[in-house]
Structure 1
């Protein structure tokens, strides 16, 4: 271990290094944004900056594999909350047509603060409405200003309601616009180096909102630039009907026909894939973003997570849209995964450690970063969380701090560290401009909803 330690997080009640190693009373040493060592109490190195976990649980930072941050501008929008997925989308598309650079930046600024408070240290985001240019750039700018680890996925929609799709024309683009801007974003912002804070992936929205040409050309573009691919897949029965009527096949077959069946791809939801389709996805190495709360709130079914993991699919956790889930707490989503796993498969189907592993190592696999995210082994990125549960909520929970973390609660991040930087301290974001951002957010959200 190097002697030049920048940050020491010590006095953990329990340190979870990864799904295979835990250290009671553990500590983590950080140098240059990387974990340099972990160990047991009494062996700590000296460090100029020290964070005491004060007996709390310390875990790797949680990784969010699917989100639509801009949707926090239309949270719990009353006319949309009790419809089907397609009802929900068609109600909200006209509101999202008001999205501009300021709205994209401010919603990302507030959304990333919320993610950090919920223990998330890396998030992808799927921005697929583009009524104006440079919206993804605005999100990336917010992530850089905060120091948040961010995978921007350049979403797209080309099939408007006039073309047999769902969205109005003013939030869609042409094929040429999508491909040109996708390539521009990769060249401008994608950082393939180890430890990168900003990466870009390509993410046509869904089989019912883009043409086959867009899916195929995007897969070719991703291959050429060696970036990852993301989309919604097998989310709803209406999607099955649409693909059969439009393409003459089921969604997974269409996905495969377009060149997406590869280990550079991860998909959101994947609820209605059948056994044969799950096997093909697993064989190709396709990852799945499991979004428990959104699926339950929309009432559209839930992914067969246990079977997926047994087949070897990388399975991670996603918050999904801030207007469908209405929150951005990865702790809540991880707890939701625990509960749904046990509800579907019985008490032995899911443990708190399984759920934590999905939200850390599983999510990191989905983003193609299993080597450096989702664990606290030496060499990994120094992304970690010290968790806080009120002593009243923990009263009597003496035997297993990991099970207590998800079974008791609610829990929030007491300290969140990204790349060795403390971004949440004593439960509050260390973001000086957050108050102004919240005022701007309220103004923009009010205008967007009143205009609708």
Structure 2
């Protein structure tokens, strides 16, 4: 039995309640063994459950590094093709280490861009090995798409307006044959057999209705019902997706997904920025989890998700970073504050309370990522997943003794305040250092491999301005 005790000046045991005073926590065999009042002086730290990043994609390098900064979603997505393929273990280790340094102990990876050096099951084994080495719990969604690679409809009119050689290079990059629905399901199941485990939950990952045929979504719905495997998918992220959905499914995109059996408590939907109240009510009725990604939606000009409406309709809402935190630094603590400020409301009446936001960030995403209904609170028997914040730094200019400790955390805490991140009783970050890998060496090698591969992307990079212009003309005729 491996046991450890720690004391804290303040403990947030349940995100839906107030923070308590000095406490002693005993951790044993990956779980909380006991919590009791601290006897004598306590360490000057604030302890709470580890944040969950309930939607992300496992990108090791920030997208602005390839020129994607400041672009709307539909243009930004295409720039991700400029990232050269690198060793999958190193890429995953770097991405997950960045998440851990940002404070997240539980991370969703919707794996929309494989490195491609081997078959996917072997690649994902390396991703799972990286997750074990870094120490985070991971949900892994196998990407699936079989239509609309460039716009929401035929690519031919868009490409017809782009001159050679740019057109040929774009066709080569983006217009590739897709697997059949049954093959996608078999691939995901093979990945689960190869890499799945208690802390690496493999899920079906259809990219979104605009990128997945009805046949593919029906196959996912059937497979999920048959196997119990969770599904992770984007929905209604941008207003262009809303317009496409209304045209393609006049009876309603959410009702269509319900009719084919996709809506259930096994489904997680990222974004839902442009979902309507009646759609949110149906999602709540079916037990679907929605992941709001505030910084990403702002960066990609998608809008602000209607979290207050989601909560009012009874939706289970979680919080994600989506690889585009406010400063592209994966800071889960800053993301909590941004979500709080965006959705709190105006004046004295709180539309979304502090407890609501903390429940989103610390509790609601766990089942969506891990597939298990446990954690998110600190109590005997719960998983020992917790973040330890430097209370002395947080209160360094406090003038009153009666301040609400949790209010200071919500107002001030960012990743640099983290003293320690513990997952399953194991310290995975201590004083700004990831304990399980040599992060500087991993980062240096990933950058070296990517920089060496950029020469092969020069012709694609040269085609991007033409694609940008064509996309702008397609989505906003006469605008840009």
What TM-score do the two structures reach when normalised by structure 1? Answer: 0.87
Find the aligned partners of 2:358 and 2:75 in 1 and give their Cα distance.
Answer: 33
Q: Give the aligned partner of residue 188 of structure 1.
A: 194
1:187 CA drift (Å): 2.3
Q: 8 Å contact 2:220–2:262 — kept in the other structure?
A: no
Unaligned runs of 5+ residues in structure 1 are 44-51
1:115 CA drift (Å): 1.5
SS of equivalent to 1:24: coil
Does the alignment pair 1:403 with 2:407? Answer: yes
1:253 to 239, 255, 261: 255
Q: 8 Å contact 2:28–2:425 — kept in the other structure?
A: yes
Q: 8 Å contact 2:30–2:426 — kept in the other structure?
A: yes
Structure 1 pair 145–170 and aligned structure 2 pair: CA distance change class (3 A): farther
Structure 1 pair 401–448 and aligned structure 2 pair: CA distance change class (3 A): farther
Q: Give the aligned partner of residue 64 of structure 1.
A: 53
Unaligned runs of 5+ residues in structure 2 are 156-172, 462-480
Structure 1 pair 170–345 and aligned structure 2 pair: CA distance change class (3 A): farther
Q: Give the aligned partner of residue 47 of structure 1.
A: none
Q: 8 Å contact 1:160–1:169 — kept in the other structure?
A: no
Q: 8 Å contact 1:17–1:377 — kept in the other structure?
A: yes
Q: 8 Å contact 1:14–1:26 — kept in the other structure?
A: yes
Does the alignment pair 1:440 with 2:465? Answer: no
Find the aligned partners of 2:396 and 2:311 in 1 and give their Cα distance.
Answer: 31
Q: Give the aligned partner of residue 133 of structure 2.
A: 145
Does the alignment pair 1:105 with 2:70? Answer: no
Find the aligned partners of 1:390 and 1:76 in 2 and give their Cα distance.
Answer: 34
Find the aligned partners of 1:118 and 1:403 in 2 and give their Cα distance.
Answer: 20
Q: 8 Å contact 1:15–1:27 — kept in the other structure?
A: no
Aligned-residue CA RMSD (Å): 2.7
Find the aligned partners of 1:17 and 1:237 in 2 and give their Cα distance.
Answer: 39
Q: Give the aligned partner of residue 40 of structure 1.
A: 37
Q: 8 Å contact 2:246–2:252 — kept in the other structure?
A: yes
Structure 1 pair 130–176 and aligned structure 2 pair: CA distance change class (3 A): farther
Within 5 Å, which residues of 2 pair with 1:211-360?
Answer: 211-322=213-324, 326-343=328-345, 348-360=350-362
Structure 1 pair 114–130 and aligned structure 2 pair: CA distance change class (3 A): closer
2:389 to 380, 387, 390: 387
Q: Which moved more, 1:115-124 or 1:406-415?
A: 406-415
Structure 1 pair 165–181 and aligned structure 2 pair: CA distance change class (3 A): farther
Q: Give the aligned partner of residue 420 of structure 1.
A: 425
Find the aligned partners of 2:276 and 2:61 in 1 and give their Cα distance.
Answer: 35
Structure 1 pair 202–122 and aligned structure 2 pair: CA distance change class (3 A): same
Find the aligned partners of 2:42 and 2:57 in 1 and give their Cα distance.
Answer: 32
What TM-score do the two structures reach when normalised by structure 2? Answer: 0.82
Find the aligned partners of 2:399 and 2:176 in 1 and give their Cα distance.
Answer: 53
1:323 CA drift (Å): 8.9
Post-superposition Cα deviations, 1:198-242, rounded to whole Å, max 9, x if no partner, equal 211111001121211111101211222211111001111111222
Find the aligned partners of 1:207 and 1:378 in 2 and give their Cα distance.
Answer: 42
Number of equivalenced pairs: 431
Q: 8 Å contact 1:160–1:168 — kept in the other structure?
A: no
Q: Give the aligned partner of residue 13 of structure 1.
A: 9
Find the aligned partners of 1:397 and 1:354 in 2 and give their Cα distance.
Answer: 28
Q: 8 Å contact 1:13–1:57 — kept in the other structure?
A: yes
Structure 1 pair 63–53 and aligned structure 2 pair: CA distance change class (3 A): farther
SS of equivalent to 1:17: coil
Post-superposition Cα deviations, 1:355-410, rounded to whole Å, max 9, x if no partner, equal 22211112224346574221111111110110136738741275012111121243
Q: Structure 1 runs of 4+ off > 6 angstroms?
A: none
Q: Give the aligned partner of residue 83 of structure 1.
A: 71
Q: 8 Å contact 1:165–1:209 — kept in the other structure?
A: no
Find the aligned partners of 2:453 and 2:269 in 1 and give their Cα distance.
Answer: 29
1:353 CA drift (Å): 3.7
1:279 CA drift (Å): 0.6
Q: Which moved more, 1:395-404 or 1:368-377?
A: 368-377
Does the alignment pair 1:159 with 2:143? Answer: no
Does the alignment pair 1:177 with 2:183? Answer: yes
1:448 CA drift (Å): 4.8
1:129 CA drift (Å): 3.0
Q: 8 Å contact 2:294–2:338 — kept in the other structure?
A: yes
1:23 to 20, 23, 43: 20
Find the aligned partners of 1:392 and 1:226 in 2 and give their Cα distance.
Answer: 43
Find the aligned partners of 2:342 and 2:127 in 1 and give their Cα distance.
Answer: 32
Find the aligned partners of 1:225 and 1:373 in 2 and give their Cα distance.
Answer: 24
Task: Answer 1 or 2: higher relative contact order, Cα 8 Å, separation at least 6.
Answer: 2
1:95 to 62, 82, 85: 82
1:122 CA drift (Å): 0.8
